Amino acid sequence: MSEQKVDVVKYEVRDRKAYLTLNRPDRLNAITMEMAREIKAAVDKANEDPNVHVIILQGEGKAFCSGYDLKQFAEEADYVQPPVWDPIKDYQKMKHNTDDFFSLWRSLKPTIAKVRKYAVAGGSDIALSCDLVIMEEDARIGYMPARVWGCPTTAMWVYRLGAERAKRMLLTGDTISGKQAADWGLVLEAVPKEALDNAVEKLADRMAGVPINQLVMQKLMINQAYDNMGLNSTQVIANVFDGITRHSAEGRWFQEFSEVHGFNEAVKWRDSGKWIPNGGGPIPTKEDLSD
C-alpha cells in the first residue's frame, strides 16, 4: 500500500472561515520550502472561495512556528553557498519565500494568526504577515537570528513597532511574551492560553458577518498606506541583507560551529548572549560550551 502524502499546510472551511494549519508538529512546525509554497496556495484557494470571508492561520500541536528548519536550510547548498557566493540566486529563493509568507498580507480577505507557544525567527515573519495577531500571554515572539545568520525578510517589525522598539528587538535578538507584544502594539491582543481559541473565533466571526467586498476595500485602503511608506523596497533590502548574513565571516563562523557541534548547540550559543567574534574566529571547544 502506498504512503499517503501529508499536507504540510492543512486547509479547512467552516462557517465562512478558512483554517490554514501549519502541519509539522514533530518539528514545532519549522519552515520548509514546501510549507512556504503551500501557505500561498492555501491563501489563493481561500481568496477564490466565495464562501470564505476570513482566514485563520494556526499551528498544529503545541506551537505556532519555531522558524526555519535549520537542519534542512543550513545543509542545502542553495542556502549555504561556497566562498564564491551568488547573491542573486540567494535573493531569488529567499524573496520567493518572503512573497509566499506575504500572501497573507496581500490576501484580499483578512487574515488572523493564532499564536501558541512560539512565533520565533522565520515563524515571526509568518505571524507578522497576517493582518491581525492574537497570542497566548506566555507565548514568545522574536527574531533571534538578528544576532547572527539572519535578517527578517518581511521587515514587519519596523512597520508594526516603529523605529525605536524595532531596533530594541533586532539589535539584541531577544524574544518577548505575548503580553508584552500586545502592550507594545506588535500584536493585537494577548490572552490566557485557555482563552485563545475563543478570542480568535469571536474576532473572526465578527468580521465574517461583513460582506467580502467591504472587507477587501477596507484592507486594500489600509495596506496602500504601508506601500506608500516603502514596504516593498524595504523588503528588497531585507532579503539582500538576509543572504549577506549567511555568507559574512560571522555567518560562516556560525555555520562551521553548527557543523562541529550541531545546530542545537550553535543556536544555544547564539541566543545565550555569548560572544560572537567579529570577522569570524576559532570555533569554541567542547569545554567552551560548558562554561
The answer to whether position 1 is within a domain reads: no
> Do residues 285 and 172 both lie within one domain?
no
The continuous run of DSSP H or E covering 54 comes out as strand 54-59
The answer to whether position 104 is within a domain reads: yes
Q: Is the pLDDT of residue 257 over 50?
A: yes
Encode pLDDT of 89-148 as tens digits. 999 999 999 999 999 999 999 999 999 999 999 999 999 999 999 999 999 999 999 999
HSE-CB at 161 with a 13 A cutoff on CA atoms is 21
The answer to whether position 205 is within a domain reads: yes
Question: Residue 126's domain spans which residues?
Answer: 9-245
> Do residues 208 and 285 both lie within one domain?
no
User: Residue 84's pLDDT is what?
Assistant: 78
Q: Is the pLDDT of residue 88 over 50?
A: yes
Q: Is the pLDDT of residue 167 over 80?
A: yes
> Do residues 125 and 235 both lie within one domain?
yes
C-alpha cell at 36: 512556504
> Do residues 241 and 271 both lie within one domain?
no
> Do residues 267 and 155 both lie within one domain?
no
> Do residues 210 and 235 both lie within one domain?
yes
Tell me the pLDDT of the chain averaged across its residues. 94
Encode pLDDT of 200-245 as tens digits. 999 999 999 999 999 999 999 999 999 999 999 999 999 999 999 9
Q: Please, which pLDDT band fits residue 82 given cuts at 50, 70 and 90?
A: confident
Looking at per-residue pLDDT, the higher value among 44 and 76 belongs to 44
Q: Is the pLDDT of residue 32 over 90?
A: yes
Neighbours of 216 (CB within 10 A): 17
User: Residue 291's pLDDT is what?
Assistant: 74
> Do residues 168 and 263 both lie within one domain?
no
Tally of structural domains, the chain: 2
> Do residues 128 and 208 both lie within one domain?
yes
pTM of the model: 0.95
User: Residue 2's pLDDT is what?
Assistant: 41
Query: Cβ(52)–Cβ(19) under 8 Å?
Result: no
Q: Is the pLDDT of residue 77 over 60?
A: no
Q: Is the pLDDT of residue 262 over 90?
A: no
